[in-house]
Each structure stands twice: as structure tokens, then as C-alpha cells.
Amino acid sequence: MAQKKRIPTPAIIVYWVVTLGLFVGGLFLLAYYTPANLRTPEYDAGAAQKIFYIHLPIAINTFVAALLVGVAGVAYLIGRRLVWDDFAYAAGKTAVLLGGIVLLTGVIWGRSAWWNARPWFVWWEWTPRLTFSLVLWLLYVVYLMIRPSIESANRRALVCAVYGIIAFLDVPLVYFSTKLLPDLHVPPGQAMSSGMKWTLLYWFAPITMMHVGILYHRFCLNRDERALYESAYDNEQTPAVA
């Protein structure tokens, strides 16, 4: 049975137009309001340093997506309502999407920033933060992969709820890895100018709105798809009336 297409409401259209406008404003700030370059004896990223303003908000939103998977898992274990599994599935997809962007922007930024310290232009170093970030992304890739392998909706929701709660434990490891362990991933500390601070704070708005929009869209699709399959299953189980 074909799934019914969702027609965007005027509110959703306005939401995405505002989000797009914020992205355009953010690009303007990157081009004209932030320093063209940041240089120290060990750190010289050139124009690639502007990736930082996008990289950090996406990383924070990745952590939020992972947290939502775990919270939805706890809510399912308490109430056993499949709507929480629909939400966790949507959050898991956004965690994979955002986590992949974090890894991509991180290696591009690092490859350019550490030219003086790492003259062979390595794309990847198995530092604690990079390693834990990759593990976090892989955990949610596996989360998406194991779902289709479980046919029963209730059993799938139970297994994924427990898995999602456990997978979230990697988030503190990513955060505290740079606080407690030496890591080349983080450039030397520098005082941020007001332009840099405002640009960084600004970029949280469009990226968070994008995250919320994608999450809501995926949640609605998951909920509608489950309702469609439940309806089809009920029709198959209902005996035909002569």
C-alpha cells in the first residue's frame, strides 16, 4: 500500500523559509564579519577556520539528537507506547546525518589547521576525541541497521530503546576526552573577538532550526508509516463478510 504524501502546511513553509534566510545571513557573517584568518606558530587554517562556526553547532545538535534517542527510549520503557519509538527512530536518523557532517567538517578543518604542526597533511589522527566521535557515529549507524532486522514492532522498540540508552553513554566520552586527555583536535586557545562570538552564537539558530525541522518531518513520516502498516495488518486479520 502506497504511503500518502504529506502536504506542507503554510506554517511549515514559513518555518523553512525563515531557516533558509538564517543560513543566508550566517554565510554573510562568515564572509564579512569574521576574521579572514587566524594564525599562531602552530595553527594556520586559512579560510578553513570559518568551518568552526558551523562545526561546533552541528556537533552540539548531534549530542542533542543522541540524547533524544536515549530519552525516547526511557519513555518507551516506561509507557510502552510505540510513538516514542517513532520519535527515537527519527532522532537516530538525525544523529547519523549530523554526526556525519561533524566528521566531514572536522577532518577538513583539521587538515588545514595543522599544516605547520603536521606537514604531511594527514586527514585523520586517532586522537581520543576523533576516535570517540567516530564511534558515536557508528553506534547510531548500527542503530539504524538493526531496526529492519526485527519484525515485531514491540520487540524492535524494546531492543532499540535499550540500545539507544547505552549508545548515549559515548557522548560524555566525546565531550570529556578533550578535557582530560591530550588531543590535537583542538587548536591552541585564543581569545575570541566579539565578531567571532556573535557569529558562533548566530549559527546555532539556523542549524538548530534545521535539526528540529528534519526531526519533526521524520517523526511524522515514521508515525504515518506505522499507522499505515497497522491498518493494513488489521485489514488482513479481519475475516471477510459474506
Residue 39 has φ and ψ, to the nearest 5°, of -125, 135
Lowest mean pLDDT among 89-93, 136-140, 197-201, 233-237: 233-237
Count the helices and strands in the chain (H runs, E runs): 7, 0
Return the H-helix or E-strand segment holding 231.
helix 194-237
Q: pLDDT by residue (tens digit) across 135-172?
A: 999 999 999 999 999 989 999 999 999 999 999 999 98
- Give the model's pLDDT for residue 11: 92
C-alpha cell of residue 130 = 576523533
Residue 197 contacts residue 122 (beta carbons within 8 Å)? no
The whole-angstrom separation of Cα 47 and Cα 45 is 6
Residue 204 contacts residue 57 (beta carbons within 8 Å)? yes
- Give the model's pLDDT for residue 215: 97
- Give the model's pLDDT for residue 113: 64
Q: pLDDT by residue (tens digit) across 41-66?
A: 445 556 667 888 999 999 999 999 99
The residue with cell 530519552 is 71
The residue with cell 506542507 is 8
Report the chain's mean pLDDT, rounded to a whole number: 83
Closest alpha carbon to 95 in 125, 68, 72, 55: 68
pTM score of the predicted model: 0.85
The residue with cell 566525546 is 174
pLDDT band at residue 242 under the 50/70/90 scheme? very low
